[in-house]
Amino acid sequence: MPDTSQTYVAALADLFYPQRCVGCDRRASGVLCRVCFEALPRMGSPVCGRCGLPTAFETFVCEECKNVDFGFESARAPLKYAGVGKEIVYSLKYRGYKRVVERLAVPLMLEVLDDVHFDAVVPVPLHRSRLRKRGFNQAELLARGVAGKINATVSDTLEVVRSTRDQVELSAAQRRANVAGAYSARDPLFGRILLVDDVFTTGATMSACAGTLVRAGAREVHALSLCRTV
């Protein structure tokens, strides 16, 4: 039999602090309403085995990434960075709505994660000035959520050693130059590493971080993000 006091408190909370869908801002029982959940821009399959872009057929290297030198072995993301997917990232990153991590983001990310063992999960770090301004690192929240589900440890060995420009308006080549030499590893790290971020755009940041981890001793690095620009 349900606890009537808890039901009453929940009803009051919904009355005065109604939960809103992060996709459309309408009242919802979860972080997404049914309409927005069904509208999730899923990446689908098949995808390129290397960079994670949707492809017409299964392939390890697609036309988009065959001439790109990535520091990671593979990259995966469950959602395209568009529509509801973009709203989810925005709600976490700029509105601090952290409930989306455990209730939505992590389950989606686990769907595209291969059933292999990882020796550590590493979040893409923020520069201390950005961390101070935002108050948290969204990549770290995602990394800790994923690590908790796959029984892996989280390592904060990666750090930003110099400030970089905002990457939004930069081309792929400019992004790679912008983050070159921007990261270092405080401690050695070995084995298979899972590198986590919120959005994968050109792969420049993930590649720079992965290269740093490989130089620090990692055998291989695999990238996982919530969204992927297509």
What is the 3-state secondary structure of 83-120?
HHHHHHHHHHHCCCCCHHHHHHHHHHHHHCCCCCCCCE
Q: What CA–CA distance (Å, rounded) separates 213 from 54? A: 27
What's the pLDDT band for 165 if we cut at 50, 70, 90? low
Mean pLDDT, range 162-166, rounded to an integer: 73
pLDDT on residue 42? 98
What's the pLDDT band for 12 if we cut at 50, 70, 90? very low
Q: What CA–CA distance (Å, rounded) separates 209 from 182? A: 9
Parse the chain into domains and list their residue ranges. 18-228
What is each CA distance from 9 to 4, 6, 83, 89, 217, in whole angstroms?
A: 9, 5, 34, 30, 52
pTM for the complete prediction?
0.88
Six-digit token string for 203: 């792969």
